[in-house]
Copies of this chain bind each other. A is one copy, B any other.
């Protein structure tokens, strides 16, 4: 039975790393002594070791050990044997490229679908959807494929940002960019604002965190979904 927390962001403004969602993470990984951290997205170019240390510092407060996926010679086995998995944010292209390079996309999908508890934030959330095509990140490396693990039957836009009504910037809004995606793709896209997350339990997908999320579907007006909404039927 799938068990996932898929968060828009790791950190809220003024808060500490993963602090706002600590109770949910404790519950997700309850009974786990050790989890596997996927550091590949490297936010700001941080090293795999340093990024893993950052995650480990947080998980120490829950009494859970963290090991970085990069430390394992046999990465396929590391994923399939993991008690729990956390994929951190950063650059989605870099993350996806590294997963394909080591042929890890299928085993990650299998682990999550078979019930290994999974936490994702930002880029680590992006890869739980059908494709990474609604990422906000720059294409700083080439990826062989945009398809991701599809543990949820739609796409995400993490760090979703509303247009600033006072703004004078003329670059495309996030909403315009997602509408452009829907010229070429029919997959629904959920804009997850910072402070929102999806709780996945088996086939049930619930919007949590007290904020509304913005749902974009091909050929339809965008709509707002209340916190607590059941997204299980969205596809």
Q: How far is the CA of A138 from the CA of B13 in the complex (A)?
A: 25
Q: Taking the complex as formed, is A54 at the interface, i.e. its CB lies under 8 A from any CB of chain B?
A: no
B140 touches A13 (CB 8 A): no
Instruction: Give the interface SS of chain A, mostly helix, strand, loop or mixed.
Output: loop
Q: How far is the CA of A14 from the CA of B90 in the complex (A)?
A: 35
Q: Taking the complex as formed, is A168 at the interface, i.e. its CB lies under 8 A from any CB of chain B?
A: yes
Q: Taking the complex as formed, is A59 at the interface, i.e. its CB lies under 8 A from any CB of chain B?
A: no
Q: How far is the CA of A133 from the CA of B94 in the complex (A)?
A: 12
Tell whether A138 pairs with B134 under 8 Å between CB atoms, given A176-B44, A179-B44.
Answer: yes
Tell whether A169 pairs with B161 under 8 Å between CB atoms, given A135-B139, A185-B140.
Answer: yes
Q: Taking the complex as formed, is A172 at the interface, i.e. its CB lies under 8 A from any CB of chain B?
A: yes
Q: How far is the CB of A222 from chain B (nearest CB, A)?
A: 14
Task: Report 18 cross-chain contacts, Cβ distance below 8 Å, ordered by A residue.
Answer: A42-B180, A43-B180, A45-B182, A45-B183, A90-B180, A91-B177, A94-B180, A94-B184, A133-B138, A133-B139, A135-B138, A136-B171, A137-B172, A138-B178, A138-B180, A138-B181, A142-B146, A158-B171
Q: Which residues of A contact B (CB under 8 A)?
A: 9, 11-14, 42-45, 90-91, 93-94, 122, 132-142, 146, 158-159, 161, 168-172, 176-185, 194
Per CB-CB distance, the 3 closest pairs between chain A and chain B, nearest first, are: A159-B171, A13-B168, A45-B183
